A and B are shown apart, each in its own frame.
Chain A
Amino acid sequence: KQEVTQIPAALSVPEGENLVLNCSFTDSAIYNLQWFRQDPGKGLTSLLLIQSSQREQTSGRLNASLDKSSGRSTLYIAASQPGDSATYLCAVITGRRALTFGSGTRLQVQP
Chain B
Amino acid sequence: KAGVTQTPRYLIKTRGQQVTLSCSPISGHRSVSWYQQTPGQGLQFLFEYFSETQRNKGNFPGRFSGRQFSNSRSEMNVSTLELGDSALYLCASYLAEAYNEQFFGPGTRLTVL
Which residues of A does B touch, CB under 8 Å? 31-32, 34, 36, 41-46, 49, 89, 91, 93, 96-104
User: Which of the residues B42, B58, B98, B105 comes within 8 Å of A43, measured between beta carbons?
Assistant: B105
Q: In the complex, A99 Cα to B104 Cα: how many Å?
A: 12
Q: In the complex, A34 Cα to B48 Cα: how many Å?
A: 18
Majority DSSP secondary structure for residues of A touching B: strand
Chain B 43-64 residues near chain A, CB threshold 8 A: 43, 45, 48, 56, 58
Majority DSSP secondary structure for residues of B touching A: strand
A-B contact number at CB 8 A: 57
- Judging by beta carbons under 8 Å apart, are B101 and A34 in contact? yes
Using Cβ atoms and an 8 Å threshold, which residues of chain A touch B43? 89, 91, 99, 101
- Judging by beta carbons under 8 Å apart, are A44 and B99 in contact? no
Q: In the complex, A92 Cα to B104 Cα: how many Å?
A: 15
Given A43-B90, A89-B43; A97-B56 close (CB under 8 Å): yes
- Judging by beta carbons under 8 Å apart, are B88 and A36 in contact? no
- Judging by beta carbons under 8 Å apart, are A97 and B102 in contact? no
> What are 12 A-B residue pairs whose CB atoms fall within 8 Å in the complex?
A43-B4, A43-B104, A43-B106, A44-B90, A44-B92, A44-B104, A46-B103, A49-B101, A96-B98, A96-B99, A97-B45, A98-B58
Using Cβ atoms and an 8 Å threshold, which residues of chain B touch A36? 104
Given A96-B98, A98-B48, A99-B98; A46-B104 close (CB under 8 Å): yes
- Judging by beta carbons under 8 Å apart, are B42 and A103 in contact? yes
Given A41-B109, A98-B33; A31-B99 close (CB under 8 Å): yes
Q: What sequence of 0s and 1s flags, for each residue 75-113 of chain B, a beta carbon within 8 Å of any chain A beta carbon?
A: 000000000000010101000011101111111010000
